[in-house]
Chains A and B, each alone.
Chain A
Amino acid sequence: MKKIFAIALAVVMVMALAVPAFAADEIVIGVFEPLSGDNGAGGKQETLGIQYANAETPTVEVDGVTYDVKLVVADNESSTDKAVSAATQLVAAGSSVVLGTYGSAVAIAGSDTFGDAGIPVIGVTCTNPQVTEGNEHYFRICFLDPFQGTVQANFAHDELGATKAYCLGQLGNDYDQGLINYFTQAAEALGMEVTAESFPEGNSDFTSYLTNAKNAGAEVIFAPCSISYAQLIVEQAASQGIDVPITAPDTWDSNVVMEAVQGTDLEVYCTTFYAEGGDPEFEEGFKEYLNSDSTALANNGGNDMIAAVSVMGYDAYYTALEAIKAAGSADPADVMAALPNVTYTGVSGAIAFDEIGDAIRDSAFIKQANTETGVWDFVAAQSVADAE
């Protein structure tokens, strides 16, 4: 028995060695996204945007030679301790450039692995400033948390007229805690009173937190957390009859959250990267792509509503292609050198990088969940000037 076991293992080993062999006319773009875990739903939608872009433009021309672009997807399971091995997988797959990830904590955890291998990464929707700070290889195409937190605080103060806010985020999640931090700073500067609480990972009972919010006299609840918790918070807020507005950052811009909000009396707002209707041509194509593939449709949450993260994924792919073209080679080092000067006008707006590697972006959209029709209604566009 042991012998058979040993032989089986040996066979597997040999296969593992034999499998990877690159085709010469292929460029690999790594996709570093959570496909399972707390951020799985968002990660899948972001990946869909990348995959759609790849289906649309599967080749890139470098120096007159046309290369096929191959996407290699690694699941980082939304977990900081799985980030290293997922990142290693992409490094070993020979990625020229990596796209990802949804969720700043995992982006930070995987960052060093890419940095050591000299592979540039384009962050799609990781909004924490720490992702790009102090390194050469991480770039990003989305806005940052200090901006988003300020936008949120201004919105709560000016539009909703709130003087007391209650923040609820997940413990140990850099994304949640970072946003709460920036929101609090901005809100306190506006003279608001802020109570912040955190729930442990895997928590499913939010009734007590919502009661805390009520007891604290909060006039707005700011809940920067991942989609799976958002769904529970919405559900329990509705059954508890919470009547103050709930505002949330980009994560909540998802049809999963929308489904939970639909049919309730809640007032839910979120900031996001893209407002539906911004580019009808893209939307039509993307919806067609979703509807033609049942797996894609299931990954998008069962319907063809367009999530802002998919749009960002789409833009990130094209930004990567621009970088490869600008570099004139698929070598990661060349791509990294070329990236800071890459500009691209995508569906979500113009993309250019500043000296840290962050996108120079000046606008965020605020949307409100329409509880009757089940779509996000556009409320306002906020820009940096307004935020400051």
Chain B
Amino acid sequence: MEKTLRKDPAGKIGAAISACLIAALYIFLILLDNVLPANSFTLMLIPVLKKGAIYSLICVSMNLLNGFTGLFSLGQAGFLLVGAYAYSIFAIPADQHAAVYQYFDGGAIGFSIPEALSRLLGENAGNFVGAIICIIIAGLVAAAFAALIGVPVLRLKSDYLAIATLGFAEIIRAIFQWNGLGPVTNGSNMLRKYTNFSAIQIGNIKLATAFPFFISMICIGLIVLLIHSSYGRAFKAVRDDEVAAEAMGISLFKHKMLSFVISSFFAGVGGALLAMYQTTIQANAFKSAMTYEILLIVVIGGIGSISGSCIASFLYIACNEWWLRFLDSGSFFGISVPFFRDGFRKVVFSVLIMVIVLFFSRGIMGDKELSFAGMIRKHRNKTAEGGDGQ
């Protein structure tokens, strides 16, 4: 993931390998959606891949705040909620409004961006561009909320910041469930029927799985670029020592705010993707437990490692939704195990998390990044050392 542009052959080779892998990944994803047969393996693989890609983005956005800027915020669920709602509100086709906003006389918003664009650009292109526009709106609305909240909250430190952001997430949830906003948010009822992944295609090629990867990868790429920029270094300086950073002329508030707003923007995008994935959303689901789940994934991956967050997201989602399901099913290879019943998977999970927190507090990647260039260099150094020894 890391871009190394030095005049070092390892960097070039690394970049080439990354590019090839990414290309191969997309080819695989497109094949998965269009050509490969639907059997029990691909049927489980597809949702895991989609959700994993979405969670990668969400976790990286949280990592930007917690791992790179040292702001312990627990408001992520609130921003996901804002993003998810902002996306779906603008993406419900007009003729579905009466059904969705059944208790609010069809709601206050009578249009849908993907639908309006479909009329202009044709259905597929309209859905594609419309979805992207709605996703960007989702990010912007979440960022605007963050900017509002950030002014008072970012003056607080560590655990006070954590509890205040947690509180804000709860307040946001209550506001979105308020019947007074019902014509827009549908009160506490579900939003549904909006444009989702299955509507995304180019020509006859379905992009249901490739699309979340595409959006996530662009966003994570932007975050990586940000971290390597001078702003990113300033964030890290704030994280490592606020006093020293301020002495070096870094405006604490400005950089904290910047990090908070940017992180929330991407959380909003993540929320929009999550809404597309789930096909229905409801404010009720965005509880503090969701933030904890994301935080734990970040910790498993390693606080301060982008690739760690991504790897951990895929592992977590795959285990949770797929590989460890057998723990709930009551039998293991046909042998019935009495304590394998509903909920056992979650117990195993939480024990695993505690083990990681207590004994492997650096997580999978620590604060290192996965990079092919780095691997090549390491390998070369190893062989070189071996050569010296003779």
Contacts and interface: CB of A to CB of B under 8 A. Distances in A.
The answer to A–B direct touch (Cβ < 8 A) is yes
Interface string A125-167: 0000010011000000000000000000000000000000000
B321 interface: yes
B285 A81 contact: yes
Interface residues of B, number: 44
Contact of B342 (A19, A36, A174, A178): A36
Given A19-B333, A75-B342, A134-B99, A171 B280 contact: no
Interface of B (DSSP majority class): helix
A15 B328 CA distance: 15
Interface of A (DSSP majority class): helix
Nearest to A90: B43
A84 B279 contact: yes
A181 B103 contact: yes
B189 A174 contact: yes
Interface in A243-283: none
Contact of A130 (B43, B99, B174): B99
B313 to A, nearest CB: 14
B371 interface: no
B158 interface: no
A80 interface: yes
Interface in B349-369: 360, 364
Interface string B265-295: 0000000000001111111110000000000
B234 to A, nearest CB: 33
Interface string A1-20: 11000000100110111011
Interface residues of A, number: 45
A130 B177 CA distance: 20
Nearest to B331: A19
Given A75-B328, A92-B43, A201-B284, A80 B190 contact: yes
Nearest to A180: B103
Interface string B306-335: 000000000100010111111010000100
A83 B280 CA distance: 10
A232 interface: no
A109 interface: yes
B99 A133 contact: yes
A198 B188 contact: yes
Contact of B43 (A80, A91, A173): A91
Interface in A72-90: 75, 79-81, 83-85, 88-89
B106 interface: no
Name the residue among A79, A94, A109 with the largest chain B CB count within 10 angstroms: A109
Nearest to B321: A85
B239 to A, nearest CB: 26
Contact of A16 (B102, B192, B193, B322): B322
A112 interface: yes
B323 A177 contact: no
A13 B322 CA distance: 9
Contacts of B282: 80-81, 105, 109, 172
A35 interface: yes
A93 interface: yes
Nearest to A181: B103
A80 B279 contact: no
Contacts of A20: 40-41
B44 interface: yes
A12 B333 contact: no
Contacts of A84: 47, 277-279
A108 interface: yes
Contact of B44 (A1, A88, A117, A201): A88
Contacts of A355: none
Contact of A172 (B41, B102, B188, B323): B188
29 contacts: A1-B360, A12-B319, A16-B323, A16-B325, A75-B328, A80-B278, A81-B282, A81-B285, A85-B47, A85-B51, A89-B325, A94-B40, A105-B190, A108-B280, A109-B190, A109-B280, A109-B282, A171-B188, A171-B284, A172-B177, A172-B188, A172-B282, A174-B190, A177-B187, A177-B188, A177-B189, A178-B102, A198-B188, A200-B174
| 6 A-B pairs closest in CB distance | A172-B188, A81-B285, A92-B43, A171-B188, A112-B279, A172-B284
Interface of A: 1-2, 9, 12-13, 15-17, 19-20, 35-36, 75, 79-81, 83-85, 88-89, 91-94, 105, 108-109, 112-113, 116-117, 130, 133-134, 171-174, 177-178, 181, 198, 200-201
Given A92-B44, A112-B280, A134-B193, 19 more contacts: A2-B364, A15-B333, A36-B342, A36-B343, A75-B328, A75-B342, A80-B282, A81-B285, A84-B277, A94-B40, A108-B280, A130-B99, A130-B102, A134-B99, A171-B188, A172-B187, A172-B189, A173-B188, A178-B102
